[in-house]
Every structure is written in C-alpha cells, then in structure tokens.
Structure 1
C-alpha cells in the first residue's frame, strides 16, 4: 500500500511511505511521507467493524487529543479512501522499543536509574489517559513502548482501551484481558470459559488500572513478575509440589516475593525484595496485598510518581560492575548478590566437577590469599606505600647530602608554579565537558505541538506538556510558553511546555430539572453571566430549571449571558379553607398561593364576630393564581342547627335566565323568614304550613360568574326586627 494517498478528516492529504514492521499487529502501518513523525494505521477490511470505527471517531474528536497524543498512539485524524474510513493517523513509534525487551534485559543495559525514569513516564502516560476520562483496561508490557534514549513512554493499542465519549458519556468497554495483569476483583468474577467481554459492566475501573500499573512498575524495578514464585525444598526425595501460577496468586491475594513462606519464595534470579526503599515496598504491599480485597486503598498515580522521584535521588553505583545501580540504603550491591546466588544455584544443580574443586570456589593465589580481582589495586597501594616510606633517603639507602636536599627543596618551589596551570586546565576541561554533555534548549514558543516535539526531541531532550490553557490569541495546539529556553540541559532533560487550547468554546449543558442555586452556581463557576426569569409549569416543580437561553447544546463562550428560566410551579392553586381566620390571617395564607381576599360583607354565622365565616369558593377548588376569593365576616354568633329552618340542599348551580328550586322545611315556631344575599339573585318563597315542605325559587336578575351566598334568616317573631334566631346559608354558583 506504499504510495497510496489518503484523505484525512482534517482535509489534508497523507501519502503512505515505507512500511513499519510491527510485531503481531496484523494491520498495515506506514510512515507518512509528508511528516516522518506520523504514521498511518490501515485496517484490513475484516477489522473495519462499526464498533472499531466508532471508537476511532470518538478518539479523533476527543477535546484532550493533543495531550493524549504526547504519550499515546492516539488517532489524530481519520483516513478515508474512496469516501470510506480505512484507518487513522497516529504518532510514529518506529524508534521506540517494546517494554518486553527492557524487562528481558539481564545485563543491566538499562540500569535501575533508567528504569525508574521509565516508570515515572509510565505514570504520566496513564495519568493523561485518566484525566481525559478513559481507562487502559488491559495494560501489559506489550502496550508500553519506550524510547531507550530518553526513557519516554508511549502507550500503543489505544483504540482497544476503555473509552468514554466526552459528548454523550457512552462507555466503549475494553474487552481484552491478559494473564498476570488482570486485577483480582475481575478474576474472581470469571468462571469456566467466560471472558471479561461476558461480564456485566463495569469491569475495568481506575482501581484495576492501578493494579496493572503496580505490576508493570514492579517488573521494571525488580526484573520479575510480583506474583511469580518457585517451590522450596525441591531436592532429591522431596515430594512434588504444585507451584501456583501468577493468576492463582493474584486471585488469592498472595505474593511470595513480598511474603515468602516455608513452601514458596522468589525465583533464583530475583534479588531480595527488601533491596527496595521502604516507601516503595509499602506501596507495593498496598497495591497487591491490602488492595486485593479493598481496591480503593491501592496507591494513586501521583503517589507512585513521587515515590519513584525520591528513589531516583538516592541511588548508588556498584564498584565491581558500573551497570549495577541500586538504592543507596543497601549495604552491598543486591545485583551482585543475585548473580552469586544464581552461580551457587547452577553449581548445586550441576554438582561437583570430577576430581576437582566445586565450581565457583575461589582459590588462594601463590604466596598469599589476595583476591586476584583486587591485585592491581593492592599492588598500586603497595607501591605508594614504598614511595612514602623512602622519605628523604636515596634509593640505595644512603642519606642525601645537604646540597642534594637543598636542590630538592628548590625543585618543590618550582613545581608550585604549575599548580595554577593545572587548575586552569581542569577548569577548561570541566567547561568543555559541560558543553559536550549538555545541549541548548531551543525556543519553541509559537510552534505547533508536532513541530515543537520534533525540534526538542532532535536535541536529545524530552518535551513534557505541563498544562493546557485557553487563549484568544494563540491557535489551538500551539506552544504558549516553555521552561529553560536559551539555557543548557543534560541530554534527556525535560522541557515543560504549555499548550494553547484556543479560544474557550463550550457546549452549553442541559440544566433542565436542576435546582436553581445549583444551575446558577455551575454557570457562574464556568465564567458565565447569569440572569433568571420565572414561569409557571405544570410538569416541573417550583424552584427547578425549565430551560435556558441560549438553549442546551448551543456553543457559548465564558462571559456570555445565560438566562435561566425557573419554574414557579403550577399556574393553579388549591383554595385554602379561610373560615375561622381573621382577615389578616386569611390574606397571609392566600398570598402564599398568589391569591387575593375580597371582603364580601358581614353576615350572621356560628363564628365569633370579626372572623371569616363563609367563602364564595369552596376549599380545594383549583383557581388560577392571581384570582380573588370573596369572604364574609361574621357579625356575631347565631345558631345554624336547623331547628327552625332546613333545606334538602345548600349548593345549587344556575345559568343566566334559569331558575333553581330548593325544598325547605320550616318549623311551625318560625313566624318569619327573610333572605340576604347578592343583588343579582332573587328568592321567592311560597307559603308554608307546619310540617309541609316549602319551595324556594332562586333566579338571576343579572349576569355574573362565580359563587354567591344567600343567607336565609328565621325569626320567632313576626318580622325581621332584631337579630335572627337561626340562619341557613345557601351557595349559588352562576355560570
């Protein structure tokens, strides 16, 4: 496919150059002819599934893509051929080495100080992933690529990671797993032939990523898997013992390297775990032992990074083998001790050589027991001792004459003249060494991310993206500022840059249903100016957000004014029962529902004088807020027990021009009945006789709506002079 030109989703053309050999990738990977820092990954047709393409689309539009691309093989641009997606553009990792090769190193080509730096860079790579809302899921050495020159770490295979769509929140789970790197809480959920793809979500979490991080860090520092082990007492006649595999130990929450017992311990080629600093050992114990049942106690990425930083500053170099770097708190070189242990193990396995000394045993040198390995040093010290002991004597043992001695002293004075010259030469050599070992830090402010990365790495330095900031003047993915420009750094030194995210443009979230104070607080916290309006709603409770202007999903910039519309609750209110309240109490109660009290006048009632005794709208009636409720005030207590006057109904409804009839029963003791009510209502009594019903006809002489009260007043006397002896309230609703 070399030479094929693809069209990127960014509108650019990309030409596939030389093919990159990638072990077990199964997919074409080609250097981009226009930019050798980039590579094109072309998927074979059978791998262009909808889910795979969806993953690539999500990654290519991730808002933190620039930060992620710094340490992951993140898809930056989708590639199209004949209008169909066929792959994507990513970083060219051709010069990177797989971490598996680093871990296989037994000659300390990559000594401990280099591995510590690799571990720190692995921490920053995983932190970038978590910061963007994604997870590695299945993180193994095969996914870790290392620049052996700088220690920079890149994560590959990213489109198989667990991804979160920043726009919709949808999770695309990681469906892969690997023996030795799967957290115990996942292994315990697996049974039979089922895989992680069969488990209900969530499967992978930040805590499971922290477990995998711990395993990879342990391998970098110790050169072995933390859950590997070997059986003890496996000599002649010993009973065969099943040595558990790493996954068995992970599931059980035991590490025989961290905690040896009588049956199992560390492999022969592994140094004593106690060579590591105490703080590092505590972190591994939390990660593997305590974290087995409580994943939440596993060390965070920041804890690992800081502990490794501290460890890197307290290292010693072996005198016998300069490649052996180890924590300075060790009395002797643990790597040399491991090599001796391996030699003893091989000797014991091979047995004694025929008729000779056991292999590996040191022999005394002729004339003494000096170690041949130190002979040169001892001879030098012996020679120095002889030279010191000669003093002012001649080589033949005779004393020198005074003249000879004087000449010797004069020679010393002359030799002092050379001391300043030697110092100048040393200073010049030091300056030369400084310029040889260091490189100038280039100024990359104003360059794009890829340009800056190429320039800095070409000098043998490491570029680290410290932060990303919004800028109205600096384009997106461009360096705003940097550290150490113009100075000189040792090779592999770090240059921190700040990248622009361009103008801050946000998609307005949907705040519908949120509490008013929460929505306003969130918006103001994002830098928006907020105004509020209030509307009635039959669906959204009072005090909750109805909608915003601009509407949810609109593209906005901090500083814009966002109007938030808040629900006032239902437009209708249920009428309270005002009877028995004073006018002031009734008005206060009505105001809570935005209703108003209107004085309908004074009538007799069974309430004390001055209290509301009747209302024209029944309690519980639904009224539109802002409506009025007519209420009557009691003039004093009058009986309404029905001894003189009663009716078959006390509520009637009439329309204009219609009449309603109420049947009354009037006691023979009652000599007079009068009516009091609204002027729009006429009442007509028929004659009544003792014990017989009386028809009361009610009609309208005008038009009005609502409910009105008609009060019938009964007297023992022959007229309505004085207070009535009994009352009966009738309610007339006019339509």
Structure 2
C-alpha cells in the first residue's frame, strides 16, 4: 500500500510575500512551485532546495547560504530573452530558495518524452536559442555546469501551443544553481560530481574542472539526443556512464538515424570532443557553428518550403536522405528571433551568362558601360580606395593588429593562471610538470611564450606546473653488498659515504648493516647517506652465565678478557642472592676482547622474622618453627622448656637454621 505524504509548503506564505499555489516539478536538487507574488500580483515560480542538498543548513548558514546568495545575485544580473529571469532569493526554514520567471510551457525532456526525437530544423532552432542563453552567461563569466533537457524550457508561442517547435521560445534555467550546491558539498564531502552523468564533460569526471567548454560538451550531447532520441551512453551505475564520456568518442547521430546530413554529424563531433581544447571555445562559438549549419542546410533549396538536406561535403550520400521543412529563421515572428542576429540569409545567385557569349566580350561590354557613366567612374574610384584601405587594414592586422602581449602567469596558482588566461582570451595547455625547491606545488613554473612576448590574440599558452620540492624515501639497502647498495643510492640521486664498520652476528663481512638516515626517511636529491658495513661475527663468543653466582661469573669473564659492568643490576627473585638471572649480550653473541657484559642478579628471597619461642615446651617450639620453614637444632633436654634460642625475633632468609636450648 502506497502512502502519499502531503506537501506542507502548499498554501504557505514565504517571506510574507509569496503564496505557494501548486507544485510544478521535483528534481534531484530542488522542488519547483507556482506561487503568487502578493505584492506585485503576478505568478512566479519558486524553487526551493531539498534538505538533502543543504544538510545542516542552519549550522552552515555562513557557508552554504552565503554561496547560494552570491550565485543568485550573479544570475539576477544575467538579462537575456532566452534566460529564465531571477526576481528574488532568500531562505525559508533554513533552506535557500529562488523566485523566478514563470514560463508557461514544457521542459525539453517532456517534449522528447512525447516526440522521442526532433526533426533537424526543430533541433537546430532549439539549439540556437539554448546556446544564445548559455553564451550570454559565458560572456558574464558564468558557467552553467548542468546543461540538460530538464533545464531547457520550451515556452508556448503567442499563437498558442508548442507543436511548431521552430516558432517556440526557448529559455534556459538553473544558471549557477549546481555550482552553489556543489560548493557546499565540497566543504562536507570533498570534490563531488554534481552534473547529470548522461551529459557530463570528461574533464568534470577526471579532475572536476569546469569552464565554458564544459557547457559546450553538454549542449552537444543535448543536440545528439534531440536528433536521435537517446543519449550516447548508458550503464547500470552512474559512475560507469560518466567514465564512458572519458574513454569513448560520441558516435555520429547518423549511425542511429540513417539519412541525417553529414553536417549534423560534424557539428555534434566538434561540440563533444573529449579534449576541451579541440571544442569551440564557448557557447557563442558553438552558436555561430549551429547558425552556419542552418545556413548551409537552408540554402539547399531556398525557394522551397520543403528541402532535401544534403551533406556539406562533395561526397555523394551514402544512405537515404531525410525530408525536412526548410523553415528559415528570417521567417520567424519578431518575438521569436534571436538577439544575436545570426539567422541564415538566402544568398543571391549570379545570373547565368547567355549561351555563346565569350568572357572577354562580357568584360569589355561591362568596362564600356561603367567607364562611360560618370557615376560608374566614381564607383570605380571608390572601389579602388576601398581596396587600398582594406589592403592597408589587412596588412596592419596580419602584421601587428592581431598580436598582443602574453600575460604574466609565472608564480600564479593553476586556478589563478586559468582565470587570468580566460579573461585575456587565451587557451592554456600544459607541459610535463617539474620538481622545484622554491616554487610550491601546482604553481606555474614556466610559460611559453614568456610574459610580454608577442602572441596572436586567442592563441595557446603552454604552462609548466611545479610539483613542489622533490622528496623521496631512502632506499632500503640493508643486507646488500656495498656495490649493489651504492648503485641503488646513486640511482636515487643521493651521495654515498662509508661509516665505521662493525661486527654483526648475522651478516657476513662487506654487507650493509645500517644506513644513516634510516631507510624510509624523506630526503631530497643530493643528500648524503652514510653506509655502515659488517665486519662479520666478532672473535669472542659470550658464555652463558645464567644460573651462576656472581663470583663464578667474574672468574669466567676475566678468563675471556671481557669486562663486567659494575655495579650489576639486582632484581627481586626467589633464587639465591647474587645468582645470575640474565645477561647482555646474550650467550653466543660475538664480541671483541674488552667488550663489556651487563649482568642481572637476584636479590635473594625476601627476609622473614624468626618468632620468639622462649618459655615454650621444647617440642611445641620445634613444631612451630618447622611449620614456618626453619630447621631446628635442640641442645640439652629435648623434653624441657626453651630457655634460649638463636636467632630470636630477627629477619633472616627463609630456611635459616634455629638453635634451641631446652632445660
């Protein structure tokens, strides 16, 4: 049995102004509601972040909410007819929300669910407006990071409905929202991948880096889906789908939908190249390519409402062609035209020459006509002047105008260098990084061309990043012969020195016993490592002294030429006093003559008190003493009374004999 939980926000008043009327959609990051702005009496859309996307929001207001607020301010300044406008922002019950323009229509996801795939003219028309919105964001320094059909709204045309997608208005939503949530997630969980995996760019998967070319890749995947009705990759787990973007090239749409023009295959391929440097630099550049493709496809038959789309190249069609409506953007109503003014224009066709007329005759007639008319002569002079100016301008451009100075990027962090290069309009590439003792890790160590060098505007600058100071552990060479150990240490760029050799019971002569610094210690190239070699086992074997008395031990050590460390160490033991309990070095160890030997001796058993038994019957006194472990000797009368004892009431070692005098 399913249980439906009521939405507690329905009917509530947010910030004393926005009355929630209904729920429009619920996504992975937020829920969208329709609401009435009771102050301005208009319908708006309110997007509220899920609690799961802002955990412990109240405790993290300074971090997460502040970042969300900054993103909202940036989006609010982004004004464009194809961008969903942001009117207001705030927090409700600790959860950030955005108040946005309410767009009457459907998401591109809803359209694709109904239509499965779109005709090329519809797909390109939607792509133009989608890219126009993203290009405006890129010019403002904002990266969307989550371009997908769910964030593309297809608004109803003034004529009603969205059946004719070419005439529909497209608006893009959620600029910056993914980045605001991701920045918060980074604080808690490290670097997360927030973009939808079906549309994620390879660089977001491998290193989490995003720039305008990341949006270009995602837009290319959306165009692929509009043309084919599916995304290029699928898998059981999101991580499997994400890594397919890294490992594979996006297939050509025509492999799934035969008959699509080659120009569309090439357009999708350029937008979805795995190397970001090989894609269009931003959405504006891709928009220009989309408009050029619409020009080429529309010019296939400019005088017909129905045209056969052909490949841009001169190669013959390999498969059947596709019949599509050649709807020209210039024919759109004014409200639906793009502000960039990039709509294709039908080119004029040069009149064909009359049959049999020679080229020379036509040129002579044209010259006579032009030069015989004063206005014609003025036109020729003006044309010559224009050509001279164009030639001069072109010469200046190719000689100096297209050049600028390379920015100073050395010593910057990688992130700062990328931001500086992006502001100056340069593309970055990276050489192999190098170690450096002074330049910290991930800072720019060198650049090519160097700063202030002459460089073409928009050209590529190659950066070499620092890997920081080179540090590595001392190799473990203990147990190796000196020659092999020396080779290993020299290969690690270390300086080798020999220390004083010493005897070792386990390693033969000439083998490394120890190194200083020890193996595993972090060092830098050029550091000195001292190698200690073994002299083999020492000539004297330490005897086993355990169990012997101190006097015996002294005699044995003196005979071998070994020295007893004085004073010896005593410890509690039940063994007799001065009996050897332990020794160092252990027995069998090899030492040189004169080596010192430490002994551990017994303090003997603890002392006990002899009880006083005087005036007791002799036999009773004997029984009492023997029960406590004292041997008893009786003098005189064994059946008499004890008149004296030795020792008496004194601490003695256990088992000390006691003499009793009885009378």
TM-score (norm 1): 0.34
Say which structure is richer in strand.
1
